[in-house]
Amino acid sequence: MNNKKENQKKYNIYLCTLGCPKNANDSEMAAGILEEKGHCIVNSPVDSDAIIVNTCGFINDAKKESIAKIFEMADLKEDENKKRLLIVSGCLSKRYGDDLFKEMPEVDIFIGVNEYHELPEILEKHQTDREIYIYDCNQQFQETTNRKLNENPYTATIKIAEGCDNICAYCIIPHIRGHYRSRKEEDILQEAEMLAENGCRELILIAQDVTAYGCDLYGEFRLAQLVKKLCRIDKLQWIRLMYCYEDRITDELIEVMASEKKVCHYIDIPIQHSSDKILKLMNRRSTHESIMNKIHKLRQAMPDITIRTTLITGFPGETREEFDELYDFVETTKFERLGVFAYSKEEGTPAADMKGQVRSDVKEKRKDSIMRLQLEISLASNQQRIGQVLQVLVEEQDEEGAYVGRTQYDAPEIDNSVIFNSDKVLKPGDMVMVRITDAFDYDLVGVEV
């Protein structure tokens, strides 16, 4: 038996990740699981003999990007010197695995979103015949102590739950990722301690809905208590909350955010719309009034808070009147950070069969209209920062020698940057104080003080 295990093939594996931070977190877990079993994670598909494409399948644009990447990797699958194994995982694979298996003979193995623990065994069993592995979502959060971090993990996500029970009319995620499953508090704290010991300064809490944390496991919302305990971890500097549902942002959570110095005065709230009619059609629990009240509470408790939201234009039934209401809402509320999606008709969702589907060109026009408005709002918001001295987390140095970083008011990859000069030699993960001297639509300029 031991000789058989010693003779099992060990792969050089290239992991290509698409989609949201939750997918990136999954890939880090997969890489750690594979390395523990003797496989090697490589940085280029050319150096690999197995390629994993971790896909996104949330909306049409994401699906197109995932399919294009699969075919790109398929072109590298075989060359003159080696034959590579091609594995597709993630949301697209979970959602369309059977169809993809028929349409993509280039792919050897398909797995879903919760099967990364099975990968080493799948690789051991795989022979020349094509196989497909699409499992049902597990009913409990699957723990693993194996996570492959970047060499300098100064910022890191921590997944506190998996799945979703918010049955929004436009969303396929509950079907893909299963019911909401909170992670045990002690396991989250243990991983957070590990991340801090490995150099993490910024810890980003993620889930499909972080504000629902604990409801299934403890019978109550426990996010506020969890955040307070995370703040006791010495080496952490920033704790950031992403994917917070408005109706579950409790007064207790707001108080913790305002009183705990390590919690970023930043919150991501996917509001989606402001019209009560459209919110009801979307099967959202929020109302226009509840949204406005929550924003008021957040800004009253933390006058400097940055609120990020996402909106959907062109949802079925959205007339010009509802869109004008949304436009006025954005103009009045003045979100510091905002993204807009044109509604994507997803098969298998209630919205796909609704009457009043909006033409694609109208959806896009409405999206562009709000983004033009947001450009003005963002510029005005940034200009208010001129003269302030802000703490900046260094991320890189550009070709001209200036440093690029972020403040607590900006999440990685999706929000603003600070471009600044310094007489010091800085490295990613350093935290410095920067005086803001200029502002643009989506960036700040400054100098270290």
- pLDDT higher than threshold 70 for residue 138: no
Question: What confidence tens digit (pLDDT) does each residue in 393-419 have?
Answer: 999 999 889 999 999 999 999 999 999
Contacts of 190 (CB under 8 A, 6+ apart): none
Tokens of 444: 């700040």
**Domain segments of the chain as ranges:** 2-132, 155-383, 389-448
For residues 77 and 83, give the distance between their C-alpha atoms in angstroms, rounded to a whole number: 6
Residue corresponding to tokens 């931070």:
21
pTM: 0.89
Instruction: For the chain, count helices (H), then strands (E).
Output: 13, 19
Looking from the CA of 436 toward its CB, the CA atoms found within 13 Å total 22
Is 164 annotated among the ligand-binding residues? yes
The superfamily CATH assigns to domain 389-448 is Nucleic acid-binding proteins (2.40.50.140)
Question: What confidence tens digit (pLDDT) does each residue in 92-115 have?
Answer: 988 888 888 888 888 988 888 878
- pLDDT higher than threshold 60 for residue 26: yes
Q: Which 3 state secondary structure label does DSSP give 41?
A: strand
End-to-end CA separation in angstroms for the chain: 64
What is the distance of C-alpha 67 from the center of its chain?
20
Task: Give the start-end residues of each E strand in 273-388.
Answer: 306-313, 337-342
Instruction: Give pLDDT, residue 67.
Output: 92
CATH of the domain spanning 155-383: 3.80.30.20
**Phi, psi (degrees; rounded to nearest 5) at 128:** -75, -25
- pLDDT higher than threshold 60 for residue 212: yes
For residues 245 and 242, give the distance between their C-alpha atoms in angstroms, rounded to a whole number: 9
Q: Which 3 state secondary structure label does DSSP give 3?
A: helix
Q: What mean pLDDT is predicted for residues 252-260? A: 98
Domains 2-132 and 389-448 equal at CATH topology level: no
- Candidates 114, 119, 132; CA nearest to 176 is 114
Is 20 annotated among the ligand-binding residues? yes
For residues 140 and 164, give the distance between their C-alpha atoms in angstroms, rounded to a whole number: 13
CATH of the domain spanning 2-132: 3.40.50.12160
For residues 245 and 277, give the distance between their C-alpha atoms in angstroms, rounded to a whole number: 18
- pLDDT-based confidence at residue 332 (cuts at 50, 70, 90): very high
- pLDDT-based confidence at residue 4 (cuts at 50, 70, 90): very low
Is 244 annotated among the ligand-binding residues? no
For residues 30 and 40, give the distance between their C-alpha atoms in angstroms, rounded to a whole number: 12
- pLDDT higher than threshold 80 for residue 6: no
Is 231 annotated among the ligand-binding residues? no
Is 16 annotated among the ligand-binding residues? no
